[in-house]
Amino acid sequence: MLYLILLTMLYDLKEVMKGNSEEQLLEILESREDYRPEAIEAAKEELKKRGVSKSKIQVIEKMNEKADIKEKKSFVISIFSRKQKISLEKFCRDFYDSQILNPVIGGVDVSLAFSEVLIKDITVVDPSFSTVDKQKLTYELTVMRFELFALAWTHNFPDKLFSQSIFTYKYLHEKRRDDIWESMNDYNRAIKGSVTLGLSAIKYAWDMEKRANLSEKQKKTAENNGTTLSDYVLESIYRPINRRFSKKAWETGATIYGLGLVLCKNLGLGDGASRFGLFGVDISAINFGINPEARFYLSKIINDFYDEAKQSLNKVKIKN
């Protein structure tokens, strides 16, 4: 959703619509809730230029109106409707392909477009952000989105953590993007740090022991299933454990704070991410490298990426 909105902000709407096929333009009219009113009008104008009849456009609009009425009437019923059953592999692959790794609309790389708008908007409240490289920001946001998807998965499907982690490694390896898998580790450690943030010495030690026990248990399970404990398998065990017990930290904002620290450090803006979550560290002394207004902006983006993944996961039931 963020990509769609910002793409229409950055580029001339008429030019964007020219790059879409007739089918894509009709889909825009059919999914008007996802687009700005100006984008809807631009799609209609482009369809008219291509000779699509006015009556056909009106039929689609009337169908939308009826759908809106039907949706309101069936709201209560929809709460109890069955979720779509889908395999872990298919759901993750479809989401990764269309939402994270290859988001292209009308021939435009929306990841780069998103980063360009983000830099411009944040620079308004903090001029230091103008030094951020667009390509680097695009890369870091892609990496972080994979980790945020895994975090949302953890909160939705706590019984399927390790299989999702292993699939993600295999997917990225298949795409020759092992660099993303490696870079996710920074954000993963920030999630772990957000869970232990502010714990007393006793609770901190207990948390470490609890994670160690879970790790040993999962390694034994893997070995009993005939799985060799290679480096990537071990990482696929450790990382989900780092995300465990993170729901409260996410809700309090501690996780977003930590992820923002890592993002700023990787963009060359701050230097405090390595100390986040360590026992006894005063987070008020950690250097973000940007002012509070810019931090708020980044926090909103991080939260929106998580919500986007969570909403998609809420619609499905993963097959065993």
Average pLDDT, the chain: 81
pLDDT tens string 217-273: 888 888 888 888 888 888 888 999 999 889 999 999 989 988 998 999 999 987 755
Q: Write down the pLDDT at residue 141.
A: 96
Among candidate residues 71, 69, 27, the one with its CA nearest the CA of residue 47: 27
User: Tokens 């990382």 belong to which residue?
Assistant: 239
Which of left, alpha, beta for 256 (phi over 0: left; psi -120 to 50: alpha)? alpha
The model's pLDDT over 192-210, given as tens digits with 9 standing for 90+, comes to 988 888 777 788 788 888 8
pLDDT tens per residue, range 59-89: 666 555 544 444 434 433 343 446 788 999 9
The alpha carbon of 113 is separated from its chain's Cα centroid by a whole number of angstroms, namely 16
Provide the pLDDT for residue 16: 66
> Which pLDDT score is estimated for 94?
92
- Give the per-residue pLDDT at 114: 87
pLDDT tens digits, residue range 143-159?
A: 999 999 999 999 999 88
Does position 126 have pLDDT exceeding 90, yes or no? yes
pLDDT of residue 10: 45
Which has more pLDDT, 95 or 74? 95
Q: For residue 133, give the DSSP letter.
A: -
pLDDT number for residue 102: 75
In degrees rounded to 5, what are phi and psi of residue 298? -65, -40
Report pLDDT for 62: 59
Q: Please state the separation of Cα 272 from the chain's center in Å.
A: 23
- Antiparallel, parallel or unpaired: β 108-109 and 104-105: antiparallel
End-to-end CA, the chain: 30
Q: What single-letter DSSP state applies at residue 82? A: P
Residues in Cβ contact with 136 at an 8 Å cutoff, skipping those fewer than 6 apart = 266, 267
Name the phi and psi angles at 245, rounded to 5.
65, 25
Residue 265's closest CA among 173, 165, 136? 136
Lowest mean pLDDT of 6-10, 68-72, 164-168, 181-185, name the range: 68-72
**172 has pLDDT over 90:** yes
Token digits of residue 127: 């001029």
**C-alpha distance from residue 287 to each of 16, 45, 92, 215, 265 (Å):** 40, 50, 35, 32, 9
Phi, then psi, of 195 in degrees rounded to 5: -75, -40
Confidence category of residue 49, pLDDT binned at 50, 70, 90? confident
pLDDT at 290 over 50: yes
Which pLDDT belongs to residue 273? 53
What crossing angle do the helices spanning 54-73 and 22-30 adopt, rounded to 10°? 40
Of 148, 139, 238, the closest CA to residue 180 belongs to 139
Higher per-residue confidence, 276 vs 235: 235
Residue 104's pLDDT is 66
Provide the residue type at 184 as one letter: M
Statement: residue 289 has pLDDT above 70:
yes
Q: Is there a contact between 10 and 106 (Cβ–Cβ < 8 Å)?
A: no
